[in-house]
Amino acid sequence: MTGASGVMGRSAISALHAAGHEVVGLARSARAAEVVTARGAQPHDGHLFDRESMTAGMQGCDAVLNLATRVPVGTSALRPGAWRANDRIRTHGTAVVAAAARDAGVPRLVHQSLSFVYADHGDDWVDEHSSVDLTRALEHVVVAETHVDAFTRAGGQGVVLRLGLLAGPHTSSVWLLRRARANRPIGFGAPDSWTHLVHIDDVGTAAAAALNVEPGIYNVGAEPVKRQDVVDTYALVAERPQGRFYSSAATRLGGQRLEMITRSQRVSSQRFGDRTGWAPQYPKLTPDWFDGVL
């Protein structure tokens, strides 16, 4: 598992152990190794961009879970170059992971992707066959998915999980709750548009379920929710009467990185549920998603 010491990795380790699996987690530092070990997984000293060390860590494994990311949080995401490391992880890193999996003879590759790639579909439902709208800000997401597709076309079993926006015990939720508590705006886009969220714990169970699904692309998340409801839920948890939205002018200043999270995306995860039996523990956004976050 790449990203094993991160928030998605820790969730996935717990879910995989609960399902009876053993986990080897990539750990490029002593601190990361401590986190992986504390979760009950076996750390492997390697580097995401080093094909040889990745191949060594994958020896004897039945599947590879690619959960590595480095997503900037809050206003830091708007700084020049803020996304460079994350984009490289998705493009070059995913290529290395797929190549190493082939070298090690691992039959299955599960990759974490994003549902942001879909176009704005208004109030229409979005499934895996819905049209996408690609921009330079989303190019790295699509490139990563093409590496997984190439893995499948070469005889492997590639699974792409298009996740909703992470919420729950996560740094982005902490940042949003602090802003809401300070009565500052946290919402982007039209209040009556749809967005796609997924609780951190449900990422782990989805990763475990993906070990037994046929190759392909699957949406993963909770029930779609209106942005006004999201903002108001954060405000409620922060003990504020109502959430606030950024102005459209402020959103435009954020360019393509913000545009992709303002699209109305009423995403359905039914296909994944039907084919795996997976169902989210947190099926609908409520304040208890953030229990203990602040």
Query: Is 167 inside any structural domain?
Result: yes
Query: Is 223 inside any structural domain?
Result: yes
Which of 236, 233, 217 is closest to 225 using CA atoms? 233
Round the average pLDDT of the chain to a whole number and report it. 94
Domain that holds residue 17: 7-290
Q: Pick the residue with more confidence: 75 or 171?
A: 171
* pLDDT higher than threshold 90 for residue 257: no
Cβ count near 81 (within 10 Å)? 8
pLDDT of residue 258: 83
Query: Is 155 inside any structural domain?
Result: yes
* pLDDT higher than threshold 80 for residue 251: no
Query: Is 1 inside any structural domain?
Result: no
How many domains is the chain partitioned into structurally?
A: 1
pLDDT of residue 27: 95
Which pLDDT band, with edges at 50, 70 and 90, does 253 fall under?
Answer: confident
Query: Is 201 inside any structural domain?
Result: yes
Highest mean pLDDT among 56-65, 79-88, 136-145, 242-251: 56-65
Query: Is 229 inside any structural domain?
Result: yes
Backbone angles phi, psi at 165, to 5 degrees: -65, 130
Identify the CATH number of the domain in which residue 57 sits: 3.40.50.720
183 touches 240 (CB < 8 A) = yes
Query: Is 53 inside any structural domain?
Result: yes
Query: Is 2 inside any structural domain?
Result: no
* pLDDT higher than threshold 80 for residue 30: yes
Question: pLDDT per residue over 96-131, tens digit each?
Answer: 999 999 999 999 999 999 999 999 999 999 999 999
